[in-house]
Amino acid sequence: MFTVALSNGEAYSVTVASQPMNPVQSCYVLNGSGKIAGADVGNVIVKCLPLHARYVLVADRSDNSVSTYAVVDPSGRLMFIGKAAAGAGPAAVAVGTFGRSAYVANATDGTVSQYTVGTDGTLAAMTPATVMAGMGVHGLAIDPAGHFAYAVNPGSGDVTAYSMATTGALTRIGATNAGTMPQAIAIDPGGQFVYVANAGGNNISQFKIGTDGMLAAMTPATVGAGGGPRGVTVDPTGRFAYAINATGAESP
């Protein structure tokens, strides 16, 4: 229903003012604009499609929390949902393979916070609320099958491995030495290999994931990068990996 009547010849434009949130849907308009042509407009159609809720999680170091934002429409617009307490110095966030769990690396206290993700995107702390990592934990990665998780620790120069229960809860299973000041971690799409960017060693450590989740160094154990690599990622086909460097050129 529109509160203002339009005169003959006036232009009109019908849009979706806000997307429905309960349930979450994506709505759009067909035949939404034109001019009044001496009769009622009867061909404007509003269609709504079910939309799986999508969320963005942001680590907030200023108040030791993690914030949730809902992606509320196809344009990517975000809406703040709320925040949950994390540990000291949250530095990175990862979401479980099936979107039902989330994890935050807390650099100052060397822990990983673990949460269940509600249907509305809110986070609830698991029991226990945190698991131990290494010194200065700075990056997280989840294997595509949802069996294992990994945390990279610059202060202790290693990678902590965890097994994942069906609930998403983590259990520490061990640690593997990486290079100097490891900063970031990535897993290939097939869930077989792990790559770690070592900012202090100007290289990338490469590992194979064992059946028990522990990491075994490949031969060679590292490959060269640029100066102070801070990030690493693997392309969706699993054929290429890329590192970003604080100084120098990118590293393929």
For residue 49, the model assigns a pLDDT of: 63
Q: Tell me which residue has tokens 């989740």.
A: 213
Start-end of CATH 2.40.10 domains in the chain: 178-252
CA–CA distance, 182 with 160 (Å, rounded to integer): 12
Here the tokens at position 19 are: 């997307």
Which pTM value belongs to this model? Answer: 0.77
Note down pLDDT in tens along the chain; length 252 residues.
Answer: 566 788 888 898 888 888 777 766 767 787 788 898 888 888 888 877 655 557 899 999 999 999 999 887 677 889 898 999 999 999 999 999 778 899 999 999 999 999 999 888 899 999 999 999 999 999 999 998 899 999 999 999 999 999 999 999 999 999 999 999 999 999 998 889 999 999 999 999 999 999 999 999 999 999 999 999 999 999 888 889 999 999 865 455
**How far apart (Å, rounded) are the C-alpha atoms in residues 154 and 95?**
21
- Predicted pLDDT at 165: 95
8 Å CB contact between 147 and 213: yes
CATH 2.120.10.30 residue window(s) in the chain: 53-156
Block residue for tokens 């159609």: 45
Report the pLDDT value the prediction gives residue 14, as an integer from 0 to 100: 87
Q: Six-digit token pair at 233? A: 């990622």
* pLDDT at residue 126, rounded to an integer: 97
Asked if 66 and 60 touch (Cβ cutoff 8 Å), the reply is yes
Domain 53-156: CATH superfamily, name plus number: TolB, C-terminal domain (2.120.10.30)
Strands across the sheet containing 182-187: 182-187, 193-198, 203-209, 215-224
* pLDDT score recorded for residue 53: 57
Which of 39, 38, 19 is CA-nearest to residue 27? 19
- Residue identified by tokens 């966030």 is 93
Q: Taking the alpha carbons of 159, 228, 105, 103 in that order, is the dihedral positive or negative?
A: negative
| Length in residues, the chain | 252
- What does DSSP say about strands 55-60 and 11-13: parallel, antiparallel, or unpaired? unpaired
CATH number for the domain whose boundaries are 178-252: 2.40.10
Between CA 235 and CA 31 the distance in angstroms is: 40
User: Cα(105)–Cα(109) distance, rounded to whole angstroms?
Assistant: 9
Q: What pLDDT does 1 receive?
A: 53
